[in-house]
Structure 1
Amino acid sequence: MSQSRSPAFLPRLHDVWRLSWPIIISNASVPLLGLVDTAVIGHLPHARYLAAVTLGSTLFSFLFWGFGFLRMGTTGLTSQAAGRGEDQRVRDLLGQSLLIGVIIGLALVALSAPLIDIGLRLLQPDSEATAQLAADYAHVRIFSAPAVLMNYAIIGWFLGRQNARVTLLLMLVTNSINIVLDIVLVVGLDMNVKGVATASLVGDYTALAVGLWLVRRALKTLGGRFDATPLKRITAYGELFRVNRHLFIRTLCLLFAMAFFTSQGAQLGDQTLAANAILMQLVMMVSYGLDGFANAAEALTGRAAGRRDWREFAASVRACAVFSLLTAGLAALAFAIGGPWLIARLTGIEAVRHLAGDYLPWLVVMPMIAVWSYLLDGVFIGTTQTRAMRDTIIAALLVYLPVWWLTQPLGNHGLWLAFTTFTLVRSLGLGMIYLARRRGQWSDRGDTNRFNE
């Protein structure tokens, strides 16, 4: 009997949707925030404002999401500990992740001046005016670092415990405040890029306050007790470090690929940079939808791995794949039919609209290629076998950069071709590793006693 018709499959479909819909709704506020940023700044009289926010946002993708393992690693380890019924370990993981977030966040604030200077130099703004506006944004935004990284840990912990509705509340608080303040500060008070940065700062700290309150309530229902020992001994962090070292490298590589794309677009002029930024906002809309099912895969496969239940594991992956492929197909169709209309909603600058329309075909094919990397990232995070994620993204970069170099005569089309190839290599690499492990380690025949690498 096939896995898809087994009794375990239909309940997994329900579980995937139960975990995914709150995450998808909360994630929808993230691209909505990006769309508001783009629309508000994009209707200012010059493209340099949108270019500056794009560069500043890219910089903080490096500074913050470089430490995204605080979310991903916490989710995988927490879901496995919860699957084994180890409440004390669930408590310890939260405390350790929060402490790591505070330390890294304060270090980023302390080193803000050189980090911002070096980061903007690497991104190579097209003009001095754009560089100054990007710096104005960055020097405000950096102060949210401790809150952002602690929020990563809190969100990861709740997802690992399959409490997606709490995550929904936390994300909606952050992004709702951010969107409202965007409009008030940029449109009402004419603060341009500093207004966008201030809105993000206030939203992040508000979310942290709400998140800590929710954590306090959740701990009252959890077995075990507060124990400071795992927070003080460096050896107690061994499992987190083992999982997260690969995630750290993988995330940096991914962010480098995104930043390289933005930087090379900037070299083609502010209008091309602005057009790419608008298209990337549409890509992000799809990615946050796919991420909802990937997050469900993290929680469900992590629980199954903790229980050593490979039948449940297989059914969970298949159920997540059904929803992911449906989402990717609908997105590709939407871009093919309504892409020009979406672009027109994001900017009133005719030259930017025209350029974005020229490169729209790349967005039509992107969802069906990228869907596999999102889904399988969730599986590898849930099983905490993060070395595969690191290795495949390094391989993708080794293809991405030569393709870009060879296609420079094609201009921005060459840049989109290189980025699409990067995504394709990631998906293929993760798919091959997944199939190999399903035949061995992730089966009743394999070594079910090893997860961390």
Structure 2
Amino acid sequence: MTLQQWRADWQHADTRRRVWALATPMILSNLSVPLVGLVDTAVVGHLQHAHYLGAVAVGSMLVTFVLWACGFLRMGTTGFAAQACGRADGQGLRLVLLQALWLAVLIAIAVVLLQRPLLELALRFIDSSPALIEQARLYVGIRLLSLPAALANLALIGWFVGLQNGRAPLYLLLLVNLANVLLDILLVMGFGWGVAGVAWATVISEYTGLLFGLWLALQLLRQHAGQFRWLDALRLRGAAPLLRVNRDILLRTLALELVFYLLLVQGARQGDAVLAANAVLLNFLMLASHGLDGLAHAIEALGGHAVGRRDRTALRRALVVSLGCSLLMSIGFALAFMLLGPWLIQLLTGLPEVRELAVRYLPWLALLPLVAVWGFLFDGLFIGATRAREMRNAMLGSVLLVYLPLAWLLRDAGNHGLWLGFHLFMLARGLSLAGCFVWLWRRGRWIPD
């Protein structure tokens, strides 16, 4: 592409309008997710002992591990729904939705049945205080009750995005997260339930959101002719492409989760205060990642729609606009974290030692949006094209060839070494995806003739 073409694509008014029409509600809804984490941290961070905050951090990470591992329910659903929408295939839209919801139910049943051995295995490697481990076990046991609803909500959000409808996920996530925040305050600060109150708040809010999300889906399907094929969905008939994509996204997500788990384990070995400080800072990362994910969702939907219609020009314009907007947003997050970070840390915890450590390592988090933006954007591009195999390979290469060797080499460098390795991993992830896309695009393999 020439510089003139880049400029023309960036200034294309219709593409900008479509990108922001999708991205704005997704950014707003996505940002409500880490705000729940901020409230969780704030209400628990002002309890008497640091192990309460550490327990919520450990418990949330373990449950999030399951939810992120099942992120294929959202990502895989988005790509296939977007391509069905591009083909004006109402029957296909219904089948994708039913199959994704059925997979969510099956996975939730399997995890609940295996929760005890999985939880004990995960906690065995957390080298922390007995009080922290006990509270973490309590938190996870309650939170897993919300798993069927949480996984079904992931599938619904992916399906909504595939239909290029940004408002439905906004309404769904705002309802879930607003309910979560209000219940957090009521159950923890009002009723004094502590860690258990944080967990029960999530359970109640997820099931509330599921009922609302199903109602929204039925309203949207009135615009697309077709019928529900219940038996085909339950038998997963014709679901082989969806299952293959979900398998590859699962492997990719497990590799990413391994990185976050090692980050948690290595921080825990440096003491409860370091673990709690890292937990506070990870809320900053969640805030930035969910904001950048809003633009990634836009390229998922527009990119998948362009693949369904075999429209190279529309895909190129959507990518250029999304790339420029993502870079501007990452700069904004970096500046906000550097300027407002100390104030946010004081808001999140009243423990002096945790505050001091979090401020010390804040610059790593302030720079992270500039490093991580490439991975978020190109993830969205590959998801829309249902190219999960390439995503899997890029992630595995970044973990095996970059993060794990660095984690070993920097093991004596303390928490600074921990964050340095994480930065280099995020950079490798984004660059590998970008290189793969350029290679496929130049050879005409991204949208075949």
Give TM class, smaller chain.
over 0.9
Partner of 2:388: 386
1:214 maps to which of 201, 209, 216: 216
Partner of 2:233: 231
Residue 371 (1) aligns with residue 373 (2): yes
Say which SS state the counterpart of residue 260 (structure 2) adopts. Answer: helix
Alignment of 1:193-342 (within 5 A): 193-342=195-344
Q: Note the C-alpha offset of 1:222.
A: 1.6
Contact 2:349 2:355 in 1 (8 A): yes
Say which SS state the counterpart of residue 238 (structure 2) adopts. Answer: helix
Q: Output the CA distance in 1 between the equivalents of 2:35 and 2:338.
A: 21
Residue 415 (1) aligns with residue 440 (2): no
Q: Note the C-alpha offset of 1:7.
A: 9.3
Q: Output the CA distance in 2 between the equivalents of 1:151 and 1:227.
A: 21
Tell me which stretches of 4 or more aligned residues in structure 1 moved more than 3 Å: 232-235
- Indicate the larger mover: 12-21 or 357-366: 357-366
Could you tell me the TM-score, scaled by structure 2's length?
0.96
Contact 2:9 2:320 in 1 (8 A): no
Q: Output the CA distance in 1 between the equivalents of 2:439 and 2:218.
A: 42
Alignment of 1:45-56 (within 5 A): 45-56=48-59
Partner of 1:80: 83
Q: Note the C-alpha offset of 1:338.
A: 2.5
Alignment of 1:325-364 (within 5 A): 325-364=327-366
Alignment of 1:120-135 (within 5 A): 120-122=123-125, 124-135=126-137
Provide the aligned C-alpha RMSD in A: 1.4
Partner of 1:150: 152
The alignment-based identity, stated in percent, is 45
Q: Output the CA distance in 2 between the equivalents of 1:255 and 1:271.
A: 22
Gaps of 5+ in 2: none
Could you tell me the TM-score, scaled by structure 1's length?
0.96
Residue 93 (1) aligns with residue 85 (2): no
> When the two structures are aligned, how many residues end up with a matched partner?
445
1:15 maps to which of 13, 18, 21: 18
Residue 432 (1) aligns with residue 431 (2): no
Residue 406 (1) aligns with residue 398 (2): no
2:193 maps to which of 170, 191, 194: 191
Q: 1:126 to 1:234 in 2, by over 3 A?
A: same
Partner of 1:447: 448
Contact 1:310 1:442 in 2 (8 A): no
1:33 maps to which of 29, 36, 39: 36
1:57 maps to which of 56, 60, 65: 60
Residue 179 (1) aligns with residue 218 (2): no
Q: Note the C-alpha offset of 1:357.
A: 1.3
Say which SS state the counterpart of residue 236 (structure 1) adopts. Answer: coil
Q: Output the CA distance in 2 between the equivalents of 1:373 and 1:203.
A: 30
Say which SS state the counterpart of residue 79 (structure 2) adopts. Answer: helix
Q: Note the C-alpha offset of 1:235.
A: 4.4
Q: Output the CA distance in 2 between the equivalents of 1:334 and 1:130.
A: 32
Q: 1:165-193 deviations in whole A, cap 9, x for unaligned? A: 01100001100110001011111111111
Partner of 1:451: none
Q: Output the CA distance in 1 between the equivalents of 2:9 and 2:114.
A: 54
Contact 1:9 1:316 in 2 (8 A): no
Partner of 2:167: 165
Q: Output the CA distance in 1 between the equivalents of 2:12 and 2:381.
A: 16
Q: Which amino acid aligns with 1:278?
A: V
Gaps of 5+ in 1: 449-453
1:119 maps to which of 113, 119, 122: 122
2:73 maps to which of 70, 76, 81: 70
Contact 1:8 1:315 in 2 (8 A): no
